[in-house]
A and B are shown apart, each in its own frame.
Chain A
Amino acid sequence: MVYTKKSPALFIIGVIMLAIWYAAGNGMLDGYMEHLAAGKKYKYGAELISIPLYFGAVSVVIGAWQWFGSHTEGAWDYYSSTVAGGMFILLIAMLVRWFIAPEVAVFSMSFGKVGDTGKYIHKLLGLNYVVMGIVTGIIIVNVFRVPEWAQNGVRLSRLGLKTGVILLGTLYSAAELKNLGGLSIIMIGFFVLGSVGLVLWMGSRRGIPNSMGGVLSAGMGVCGVSATVASAPVVQAKSVEIAYTIGTILLWGVGCMFLFPIIGNLLDMSYVQFGAWAGTGILNSAQVAGAALAYQPDGIETLKVAEIFNITRVLVLPIIVLWLAVWYVKREESVTETVNVGRVIFEKFPVFVLGFILLFALSTTGMFAPANHYKGKYFDNSNVKTSKLMTDEQIAVLTANSDKVVREERKAALARLIADRKIASIEDDATIRGLANSKVMGKDSGKILKKAHKAVRHTAKKIKAFRKWITWLFAFGLVGLGMQITISSMKQAGGQPAVIGGVVGLTKAVLSLVVVLLIVSETI
């Protein structure tokens, strides 16, 4: 079988990419970029004048060869033919990331922020490049069909996702563990394992395929897209099952995000209690933040606690993948046969999860960023530039408004800030952020406090670069994944995932609420 199609498609894709690069580089897209930026700076300007050039040039060269060259069966033909499909997915991912997702954001922002959440509709609904990538892929395959010349390359999407999951390890560091409270580890461990177990049990009772149950359990138990993607290959999940899981998580999260603050207020929960509950019961990071901010719009204490619980979940991911690997083999192999767990782990444990752990370990050594970083952000007040230290005028503004601050810890942190002209410690940084967020000192003081916060928070360049790679690999993988989802496969999967997801999500929310009310006090 000869895989390479004699088609001008890849060549044309290359020309389109080069056209985007040329138009962006020569200012032809400036007006449109300004519209997409909605009053801010367009985020992707630098990408537009680099990425399409590299990939466009490669596509034009290989595209010309595919179009005019002669092709014979063999390994070279097999692997090089995937370039056309790969570039097809990449072009769509580019369009989604640079134009479609920002356009949706602009439209969403025209409706204003939602209540006290401080977030726009598209943020709360999780309508980012991830979801739009999948949706675009689904539309392409169902409305236009994946062209023949692209079909082999579409099968690269899972490779992209796995590479992205391995690189995710760089964003975390074991040093972060010392910041996590023992309670968060116990609670998250219990509820993650409990949710996974409950989904698997319900899935087998309701007769859904093991692959669907497996991937849904990871999504409902751990969190969002990363866990779903990481567990999918272990349980041989189909594309439609992955999409259903992501959809279920996002929909469930939207409901929780609005309901949790109402219940929290009814029960008069403390900030720590609510943070612990939201961080345990809600699955998607953005939605956890939305609920926490809705509960406490004038401070970040709730958000900090919710974030701690949210981070803890990621650390459980390798354990869940291991569990699912053993569970899946046990379910799929003959029940009369005794399963050798050691053999299953050796044969089935996904190497890419070991890759995740390897990069997590490297990140912990401080190889990519100071060891105490989280997602590349870290506190350091030792080398604040003189230009970023507070000026006399700024100190005068803060001093004039300092009598408006009531809480003792805020007063003390503010006094240290005024004395040192920079934030004194990581604890003070959190307090000052909360003070700025509370707006009690007025608009001008708020701006100064935020500047002081920015002066001591740094982003590691290497981690920033990793984040970009992960973003692109996920965008690539999810567009390709969407292209493997047909309407008929969606009908086949039916509504069971949503039912199971709803029941498990509700159980987790109620039980975690009870646990939080019983054992969580003001401090962890």
Chain B
Amino acid sequence: MENKFDRGSALSIFGSDRKEDFMALVFALIIAFAVYAVY
């Protein structure tokens, strides 16, 4: 896929894989905490 954006890459809105990984980790931990607290 051709990248037509001036930020991020063709496959991600983040500048680097590591940044995307950390964001995924943050989201996952938020979900895990919410599930732990609610159920």
Contact = CB atoms under 8 A, between A and B. Distances in A.
B25 A367 contact: no
B31 to A, nearest CB: 5
A239 B1 contact: yes
Interface string A127-170: 00000000000000000000000011001101100110111001
Given A239-B11, A367-B36, A465-B39, A355 B25 contact: yes
Interface residues of B, number: 29
A14 to B, nearest CB: 21
A352 B25 contact: yes
Given A159-B23, A162-B21, A355-B28, A152 B13 contact: yes
Contact of B39 (A78, A461, A484): A461
A277 interface: no
Contacts of B29: 355
Main secondary structure of the interface of B (DSSP, over half): helix
Interface residues of A, number: 38
A483 B31 CA distance: 26
A244 to B, nearest CB: 15
A48 interface: no
A351 B22 contact: yes
Contacts of A78: 7, 13
Interface in B4-39: 4-14, 17-18, 20-25, 27-29, 31-32, 35-36, 38-39
Given A351-B22, A355-B28, A359-B28, A158 B1 contact: no
A67 interface: no
Contact of A155 (B13, B21, B28): B13
A352 B24 contact: yes
Interface of A: 1, 3, 78-79, 82, 151-152, 155-156, 158-159, 162-163, 165-167, 170, 233, 238-239, 350-352, 354-355, 359, 362, 367-368, 461-462, 464-466, 469, 484, 486, 489
Interface of B: 1, 4-14, 17-18, 20-25, 27-29, 31-32, 35-36, 38-39
25 contacts: A1-B6, A3-B5, A78-B7, A82-B13, A151-B4, A155-B8, A155-B12, A158-B11, A159-B20, A162-B20, A162-B21, A162-B24, A163-B31, A166-B24, A167-B31, A233-B21, A239-B11, A351-B24, A352-B24, A352-B28, A359-B28, A462-B35, A484-B1, A484-B10, A486-B1
